[in-house]
Structures are given as C-alpha cells and as structure tokens.
Chains A and B, each alone.
Chain A
Amino acid sequence: MAEKVLMKGNEALAEAAIRAGCKHFFGYPITPQTEVAAYMSKRMPKIGGTYLQAESEVAAINMVYGASAAGVRVMTSSSSPGVSLKSEGISYMIGADLPALIINVQRGGPGLGGIQPSQADYWMATKATGHGDGHVIVFAPSTVQEMADLVALAFDLGDKYRTPVMVLADGLLGQMMEPVDLPEPIKSEDLPAKPWAIDGHKGKRDHNTINSLFLVAQELEDSIVSRWKRYEQIKAEEQMSESYMTDDADIVLVAYGAASRIARSAVNKAREEGLKVGLFRPITLWPFPSDALEATVDKAKSYLVTEFSMGQMVDDVRLIVNGRKPVSFFAHTGGVVQTPDEVLEALRRVATGETFNMVPYQSKLSGEAR
C-alpha cells in the first residue's frame, strides 16, 4: 500500500477522480469548492486532460453533458448556489441517461447565503435535482478518505446505471486535511465500453442520438418507466450506511457527512455517561439506506436526527420510522455548526423521554427548546 498522504478533502476528491479515469473537468469558481478546480487546473494539462473554466455554471454542466455524451468520464464541482444553476443541465442528463460526477461542497443558503459549512441542499440533491421525474445517486462522505473512495464508486455506478451521480460534501469536509490512502489509478483500457456514445459512428454502426425529448406522451412515459426500473435496482443494490454502537442502543442518533462526525463525538461522550446511544450514518442519501435503518426500529426506543439545516433528512427518517418510535430533531443552520456538547445535551433530553424539534429559532424565541 502506498504511503498515506495528508490532503484536503477537496484535493483528495479531485485526485481520486483523476485516478478513476476522469480526464475532463468543467467548472466555475465558487467557495468553498475552489481547491477542486485549482487542483484540476494544475493536474489536467500534465496528464493530457481537459480543465476548462466555463463562463458559467450553466455552461459548465452542459460541457459535462457533451463530454459525457461523447463517452468519457467527466465531472464538475460547485457549491450550493452554483448547483442551483446546474440543475437544468442535471435534469437534461437524467433525461438523456448520461453519467457524470457532480460535486456539491455545500455552503449556507438560500440565495447567496454564506460560505460556511451547511447541509441545506439535502432536499435539492435527493428530491429535486432538477425538473421532472428523476433522481441522481447521492453520496455523502464524512472523512477525507471517503471523499476519495466514494468518487471512484460514483464513476462506476454512474456508468453502470447511466445516471449522473452527486457527491454531497460540505465546506468542512472540503477544507479539512486528513491522512488518505489514494486509490490505485484505473487503466484506461479497464474503463467500461459505451456503445451508446456519440463519438462518431465511423460507418460501423447506426447513428447514435443523445436526447431527452419525447413529443409523444406515451414514449416519454415509457422512457421514464424504464429509467425508474433501474432506480428500483439501485435502491435494492446500492444502499450504503454505517452503524456505530447501534446494536444495544436505546437512542439511535442519525446524521450524515460532517454532522455525523460531531454526532460520533457526542455518542462517545454519551456512552461515557452510561447512555446507550448509537450512530446511524447514511452514506448514500439517494437511495436512502432505508433497509438498514428499518432494522433498528424494533430495538430502538427513540431517534434523534442532527443536521446542518432546519431539518431535511429528518423527513426521510420519519418516513421510515413511520410513527412507530418518536423522532426528535436538533440542528443549527446557515453555517453555524453544532458542538458535540450540544448534541450530547439533546441526547440527554431524548433519554428522559422528551420528544422535540429543536432548531435555533425556537430556542432563541422561547429561551429554551420546546
């Protein structure tokens, strides 16, 4: 195994993409994902790849559309406001069954928001990446190592299912450094063949078209249904999650990405106090790891969800728990990050049997949580 290197999450992600055979990057500068673009602009010319700073996020995602249509592994990266701009192109890519890696290093919103870490794009990523009936696979790394590991998987699954894949990180993961074992570079001859690509038919096959337009309603329905059959397969085969000390847990804390690290610290502190608390961490946000969460419902007495948002993933947790056990929520948002002690305090209250939806505006208004 190669020596571990100390890298920022954004840089590890970029290097891992190159090692996964991605030689085309199209992007537009925005904090806090800038290191991805900077890294690519340095590396791509040295490996015969393309780094292109587009005129806009809109143009960048459409360049990704074109390169993906031509059959190469390609990516773009941005942060929340920029991903809003990309949503048009992502929808077209879903409709045209084009794989690509889209990075969202989330920051606070809505609007220009802020530049500090946030998880307020969960809904956008998992429910409405763009207009129309469709999804993208969404990965949520929680360490720099995962930033690297999930990138390679994202390219593989994108090619396998012909779908865009998003890595939903945040400013904290993007900016922090940790030791990382970079994956071995994939050989170009080992990349999957793409007989559907528009790379010039050379007179050897019928002409290929990349298209999301179906003016006959029945044809559009058929194309959507066939795509959703693939979604069913993705839901059955690609759910990923991590469970930490959940086996004997009375309270299951649910958190993803950087928030899950704070949650993990809180779990350790709670265990020192004798509270039986475990952490359930979704790694795929779409498909949501509902099977593994379902497996905890019988044993758990209650749930606490913590995010860097006003409560988005908590919707999915509540859908799965479906009223069988109480689900509480505690969070900060807008770039404010909860401390492990705050989460610990919320856990203590859940342990006393309280159920609450504790978000900052309520605690400020009432002086204490509801």
Chain B
Amino acid sequence: MSDTTTTAAVAEKPKKEKSPILFGRTGSLTKAITNYCPGCSHGIAQRLVAEVIDEFEVEGETVGVCPVGCSVSAYNFYSCDMAQAAHGRAPAVATGIKRAKSDNIVFTYQGDGDLASIGMAETVHAATRGENITVIFINNAIYGMTGGQMAPTSLPGQVTQTSPYGRDTDAAGFPIRVCELLSTLDGVALAQRVTVDSPKNVRAAKRAIKKAFQYQIDGRGFTIIEILATCPTNWGLTPADSFTWLQENMIPYYPLGVYKDTGAAEKE
C-alpha cells in the first residue's frame, strides 16, 4: 500500500470563522496522512463527507463508523468521533450509536465487499428499519485492501485475482445493484448513485451527500449515497485510464441517478 497522500495536506486547519485561506484542509479532517493509493477515489469521497459536516457545522455532533476495507483507517482521518467496526457490521454498530444518542448524526463509510457481501444482512435490515443513519457506499467493483479480489459488484467478465478468467456469471453469479435493491424498501428515504469522475460529478456527489445528511437531520430515515469509485492499483490502470474504465464499464451497469427520494416524492 502506498503512503502517498491524495488530499491537500499542506494547509493549516481553518478556523471556524471566515478564513483568508481560499483552499485548505477541510476542518473536520485531521492532519493525518491518508493511506490511499494515487488516483483512488476514497480521498475525494472522504473529503466530500467532511465538507458536508463542515457546512452543517456538526463536527461535534457527528459520529462516523468505518468497517473493514481500505476505509478502515478513516477513524484517524475524521476529526469527529469515530468507531471502527467489524467487517460488514457498520450499519449495526451505527444503529447502536444512533439508538443510544439519537441527537447525533451518524454515518457509515463502507466499501462494496463490506456492504454488499459480508454485511448485506446488516445493510438491508438497517434500511428496512428506516434507521436514521447515512451510509456512504464506495463501489469500486473490487476488494482493495486485500489486494484485488472479486467483489459482489465486480462486473461480468471482470478479471480480478480471484476471477482470473473474468467473472463467470454461471459460477459466480451477477453483480448486485445496491441502490436499486434498497429502493424497494419502505424504510429508505434516499438512495442515490453518484460518481466523482469529473468536477461536475464531484459537485453533484457532494449535493447528494448533503441531502442525505439533511434528511437524517430531519429524521426521515435511512439514506444511502453510492459512489462509483476507482481503484487504479487493483484494476491495473493509471488513474486517468481508471476513470475512462469507470465511465465505459461501470456507469452502464450501474446507472447514476436517484432511485428513491421521499422528499422529492412529497413535492410531486
């Protein structure tokens, strides 16, 4: 794993009042250097969540949960209170935290193996309970931390360490479309798929995360933002080629969009 940082680590943590610094480290991120590889989308996604926390000014009332996967060290990166969780169990841990202190904002930050494979039961049941938490779901179609094995979201034909001849759907089954699946559940307030492959899409992703947090503040129930992400190291591509691969392969299988939005449904 590379120690290269992908976030702007040079600026001082800005004060809460207006700062003359125009661009700096996001307030609710610590100064710790992340362990993400060059071109990995985690850095962007993580920062977007932090920016949303800052914009709502809720760092002191927010608790994050990061389970096993590349995001496991995120408890070092956020300056709000954080819990590390067992593989797949973040929605259950978040449920416990939220039920104990319901005034706090609770989010999980989970990868695809964690959320859609070993933790599918926890995900679906937290969703159907309408647990008032926000799930940030990083879908990069591969197991990153363990070195590039097939994920529940790996595409048909995708070559990984454990699908060396390409994902054979006869033997390994099909990828799971999480937002579509969860959108059928009554407890879900918001299920939206975004990506971070362009400045426009990054801004859209942030708006989605902000809406999810707003829905949680409003007590609407379970919110999930799925972020299609790159994993250049395990895909065996350059960062730039990774985004092209994401655009050409992932987005067609996992269309971007809003799959459920109780707020929008009310307006109609």
B139 CB-CB contact with A under 8 Å? no
A67–B96 touching, CB < 8 Å: yes
Q: List 7 A-B contacts (CB under 8 A).
A: A24-B96, A59-B125, A60-B92, A65-B86, A66-B85, A198-B83, A200-B60
State in angstroms the CA–CA spacing of A276 and B96 once bound together: 53
Please name the residue on chain B nearest to A202 by beta carbon.
B60
Please provide the chain A residues from 200 to 220 with a CB less than 8 Å away from any CB of chain B in the complex. 200-204, 207-213
Give the size category of A's interface with B.
35 or more
Chain B residues within an 8 Å CB radius of A69? 83, 93, 96-97
Task: Return the CB mask of A60-77 against B: 1 if under 8 Å, else 0.
Answer: 101111111111101000
| Majority SS at the chain B contact face | helix
Besides A59-B92, A59-B95, A62-B96, 18 more A-B contacts (Cβ < 8 Å) are A24-B96, A62-B89, A63-B93, A65-B89, A66-B85, A66-B94, A66-B98, A66-B100, A67-B96, A67-B99, A69-B93, A71-B101, A198-B82, A200-B103, A211-B83, A211-B84, A212-B84, A213-B84
B107 CB-CB contact with A under 8 Å? no
Chain B residues within an 8 Å CB radius of A60? 92
The 4 closest A-B pairs by CB, nearest first: A66-B96, A62-B92, A198-B81, A70-B100
B72 CB-CB contact with A under 8 Å? yes
Please name the residue on chain B nearest to A91 by beta carbon.
B86
State in angstroms the CA–CA spacing of A281 and B245 once bound together: 67
State in angstroms the CA–CA spacing of A308 and B108 once bound together: 43
Give the size category of B's interface with A.
35 or more
Please name the residue on chain B nearest to A100 by beta carbon.
B96
Q: Which of A59, A62, A207 contacts B82 (CB 8 A)?
A: A207
* A228 nearest CB across to chain B (Å): 21
Contact status of A204 and B60, CB under 8 A, knowing A64-B96, A69-B93, A69-B96: yes
Name the residue among B86, B122, B124 with the largest chain A CB count within 10 angstroms.
Answer: B86
A164 CB-CB contact with B under 8 Å? no
Chain A residues engaging chain B, CB cutoff 8 angstroms: 24, 26, 50, 52, 54-56, 58-60, 62-72, 74, 88-89, 92, 96, 198-204, 207-213
Contact status of A202 and B61, CB under 8 A, knowing A66-B100, A69-B97: yes
Please name the residue on chain A nearest to B72 by beta carbon.
A213
State in angstroms the CA–CA spacing of A167 and B162 once bound together: 43
A89–B86 touching, CB < 8 Å: yes
Chain B residues engaging chain A, CB cutoff 8 angstroms: 30, 59-63, 65, 72-73, 75-76, 78-86, 89, 92-101, 103-104, 121-122, 124-125
Chain B residues within an 8 Å CB radius of A209? 75-76, 81-84
B99–A201 touching, CB < 8 Å: no
Name the residue among A55, A71, A200, A203 with the largest chain B CB count within 10 angstroms.
Answer: A200
Please name the residue on chain A nearest to B75 by beta carbon.
A209
* B129 nearest CB across to chain A (Å): 8
Chain A residues within an 8 Å CB radius of B78? 207
State in angstroms the CA–CA spacing of A202 and B61 once bound together: 6
A59–B121 touching, CB < 8 Å: yes
A200–B86 touching, CB < 8 Å: no
A66–B59 touching, CB < 8 Å: no
* A297 nearest CB across to chain B (Å): 43
State in angstroms the CA–CA spacing of A59 and B124 once bound together: 11
A201–B86 touching, CB < 8 Å: no
Q: Which of B61, B103, B122 contacts A62 (CB 8 A)?
A: B122
Q: Which of B63, B99, B121, B125 contacts A198 (CB 8 A)?
A: B63
Chain A residues within an 8 Å CB radius of B80? 200-201, 207
Q: Which of B30, B61, B85 contacts A65 (CB 8 A)?
A: B85
A72–B100 touching, CB < 8 Å: yes
A66–B95 touching, CB < 8 Å: yes
A200–B104 touching, CB < 8 Å: yes
State in angstroms the CA–CA spacing of A201 and B80 once bound together: 7
Please name the residue on chain B nearest to A73 by beta carbon.
B100
A74–B89 touching, CB < 8 Å: no
Please name the residue on chain A nearest to B80 by beta carbon.
A207
B89–A70 touching, CB < 8 Å: no
Contact status of A199 and B99, CB under 8 A, knowing A59-B125, A69-B93: no
Q: Which of A67, A89, A208 contacts B89 (CB 8 A)?
A: A89
Chain B residues within an 8 Å CB radius of A24? 96, 99-100
B104–A59 touching, CB < 8 Å: no
* B268 nearest CB across to chain A (Å): 32
B101–A199 touching, CB < 8 Å: yes
* B67 nearest CB across to chain A (Å): 9
Please name the residue on chain A nearest to B93 by beta carbon.
A66
Contact status of A203 and B59, CB under 8 A, knowing A58-B89, A59-B122, A89-B89: yes
Please name the residue on chain A nearest to B30 by beta carbon.
A207
Please name the residue on chain B nearest to A197 by beta carbon.
B81
* B246 nearest CB across to chain A (Å): 29
B101–A200 touching, CB < 8 Å: yes
Please name the residue on chain A nearest to B83 by beta carbon.
A210
* A96 nearest CB across to chain B (Å): 7
State in angstroms the CA–CA spacing of A56 and B91 once bound together: 13
* A345 nearest CB across to chain B (Å): 48
B86–A70 touching, CB < 8 Å: no
Chain A residues within an 8 Å CB radius of B84? 96, 209-213
Chain B residues within an 8 Å CB radius of A66? 65, 83, 85, 92-100
